[in-house]
Structure 1
Amino acid sequence: MTTHVTKLSGAHWVRRFDSSSNTRDLSGMFRYAVEDFIAAMTAAGIKVSVSATYRPLKRSYLMHWSWRIVNDGIDPSSIPSVPGVDIEWVHPTTAASVNAAREMVEALSIRRLRTKPALRSQHNAGLAVDMSICWRGAVSIKDATGALVQIKTGPRTGMNKQLIEVGATYGVKKYYDGIKDVPHWSNNGR
């Protein structure tokens, strides 16, 4: 008889199911749409830093449940298991369980996220990208048709309405509830 071995949750789990921050790991035409949008932003003097592209489902599972323990007070003993992830969410004390989940949230860089990470997202299909975007002053950026769009308004981040409209011309759409997941863009706004 074989014994199924589980391991206590904590920051060390983050390295087990790595995600990508490389646009080459995006799917099909979305990859080219993102790369073209980033090239247009860069040419306009906009600083872009990609933090996530493809994300395996197992990493999404860790993100979702660690965030829910910390932010929603979910009982760690109620978390369903997933094949291939032998994590043990329940520690000897509730405080230890929450602390381990908090370590994971920090290590996963989702502490500032204002909505629970999805168990399944466009990242899992290579159809989403998380980007930090910023610039100073006015910029002129080409949309996908080649038209020059001058952006003089704030904020000078990925939350700028005009920049969001430019991104949409490339097929790169800002998360529909942007303020809850500021860096998130995808093929469908989800």
Structure 2
Amino acid sequence: MPIGASVGKNGVNDLADVLVVQHLLNDWLGATGQKPLPTSGECGTRTIAAITAYQAQVLDAARPDGLIGPGGRTWLALAAGQGTRPPLAGAEWWNANQARYPNSAAVADLVQPFRDNVAAFLKALKDAGASVTISATRRNALRAQLMHYSWRVAKGLVAPNKVPVLPGLDIRWDHGDLARSKAGAQAMCDLFQIAFEPSLTSRHIEGRAIDMTIGWNGTIKVRDKQGKPREIAAPRSGDTNRDLHRVGATYGVIKLVSDPPHWSDDGR
């Protein structure tokens, strides 16, 4: 049933039109594991927020306006059910969507007190003349879910139709055929460059870990947290130099030796 007038922010918002839009939005919200709207016929803040979210998430609108006009792009997509059946997992999904779930390499995204501890350790390293390249800090929780279930579906550890629906993650793992489902998940594993099963409970997800590459020339003197200079010589890599690991520990930045670039607040 088409709408006769605009619905949403600053719209006409006739009761019958709002009801139609609310029911269609609920199809999308339900398919993506989000809380449904009350179908009251009143266009309140939740309905406008849902319209705005639909425009941003399904239509990739750069400036979602929270308004649906008869015959407009948002209405045509909503009426056609766009977004109610999430796109299938696979290389096409990865290329189109994975950038929406970026990890961070910013120290500012770590939690306290680890954030300040890392900042102090980095300052000591740079003051001593070491080079530091940070590759990862806070891991996006939804990206972690994507990686985790890509692996588990690809390896047959979970049935594609048993992967939980997660709010904000618009993907369908079940291709209707187990072999195709596993192939789609494996394609994502390959693109994510996954070598081991990704965890859902890592220090990176919690903001309590940093991956960084540390190097230097000759012998440097790095001050520990108490301000005492410590000589750091060979091997000239933060991955393997135990003397540097001991300095990091004074700041509460602890090396996980089995994972070359990884430091955390508890060595895990």
TM-score range, shorter chain: 0.7 to 0.9
TM-superposition CA deviations, 1:18-76 (whole Å, max 9, x none): 22211111112211100011111111221111122222321221233335567xx3456
- Secondary structure of the corresponding residue to residue 45 of structure 1: coil
Instruction: Count the aligned residue pairs.
Output: 178
Residue 41 (1) aligns with residue 125 (2):
yes
In 2, the alpha carbon distance for the partners of 1:68 and 1:160 equals 35
TM-superposition CA deviations, 1:103-129 (whole Å, max 9, x none): 1x23xxxx4x6x433201222232211
Match of 1:118 in 2: 199
Residue 102 (1) aligns with residue 197 (2):
no
What aligned pairs does 1:9-158 form with structure 2 within 5 A after superposition? 9=89, 10=91, 11-12=94-95, 13-67=97-151, 73-75=155-157, 77-78=159-160, 80-84=163-167, 85-91=169-175, 93=180, 94-103=182-191, 105-106=192-193, 111=194, 115-158=196-239
- Secondary structure of the corresponding residue to residue 113 of structure 2: helix
> Aligned partner of 2:164: which letter?
S
> Aligned partner of 1:6: which letter?
P
Match of 1:183 in 2: 261
Shift of 1:173: 0.9
- Structure 2: runs of 5 or more not aligned: 1-22, 32-84
Shift of 1:155: 4.9
In 1, the alpha carbon distance for the partners of 2:171 and 2:105 equals 25
- Secondary structure of the corresponding residue to residue 83 of structure 1: coil
- On the 8 A contact 2:107/2:119 being kept in 1, the answer is yes
Mean Cα deviation higher: 14-23 or 149-158: 149-158
In 2, the alpha carbon distance for the partners of 1:65 and 1:154 equals 38
- On the 8 A contact 1:20/1:55 being kept in 2, the answer is yes
TM-superposition CA deviations, 1:83-138 (whole Å, max 9, x none): 222323345624443123211x23xxxx4x6x433201222232211112222322
In 1, the alpha carbon distance for the partners of 2:151 and 2:131 equals 29
Shift of 1:146: 0.9
TM-score of the aligned structures, taking structure 2 as reference length: 0.58
- On the 8 A contact 2:110/2:138 being kept in 1, the answer is yes
In 2, the alpha carbon distance for the partners of 1:47 and 1:66 equals 35
Which structure has the greater CA radius of gyration? 2
- Secondary structure of the corresponding residue to residue 88 of structure 1: coil
In 2, the alpha carbon distance for the partners of 1:101 and 1:135 equals 35
- Secondary structure of the corresponding residue to residue 8 of structure 1: coil
Higher RCO (CA-CA < 8 Å; seq separation 6+) = 1
TM-score of the aligned structures, taking structure 1 as reference length: 0.79
The 3 A distance-change label for structure 1 pair 43 and 67 is farther
The 3 A distance-change label for structure 1 pair 46 and 18 is same
Q: CA RMSD in A?
A: 2.5
- Secondary structure of the corresponding residue to residue 60 of structure 1: helix
In 2, the alpha carbon distance for the partners of 1:149 and 1:69 equals 48
In 1, the alpha carbon distance for the partners of 2:219 and 2:107 equals 27
